[in-house]
Structure 1
Amino acid sequence: MTKNKEELEQKILELEEELEDILEEREFVLAKTSIHVPGVTVAKFEQEINAIKEKIAALKKQLES
């Protein structure tokens, strides 16, 4: 395996861990707290999640080529 491929796989793993952390944080903030969460906060979570998913998809595509 080339170093570049290893670096891509490592970056994918890091992004997947970051995504998991954000999903857990969102779940806690939205479902586990009794305070009202503004729509802006919900949108921010969605933007972060989508951005990370796009990065992961791009890296996986790069890895396949």
Structure 2
Amino acid sequence: MSCPICGESTVAKFRPFCSKRCADIDLAKWLNGSYAVPSQREEDLDADVAEGETKQSRPH
């Protein structure tokens, strides 16, 4: 298995990462919003549709 951040071999102590550094980089991505889990709530789906319509109506 390879580290999802840098591609090096994993270390059991930090699995699935190779080091604390890569684990911290991954955590930072979650905390700053780089990673996100898509929502299936109806309210969120409606907001996405409304946002998409607004973006499409703007001239390029």
Q: TM-score, normalised by structure 2?
A: 0.31
Q: TM-score, normalised by structure 1?
A: 0.29
Larger radius of gyration: 2
Which has more helix, going by share of residues? Answer: 1
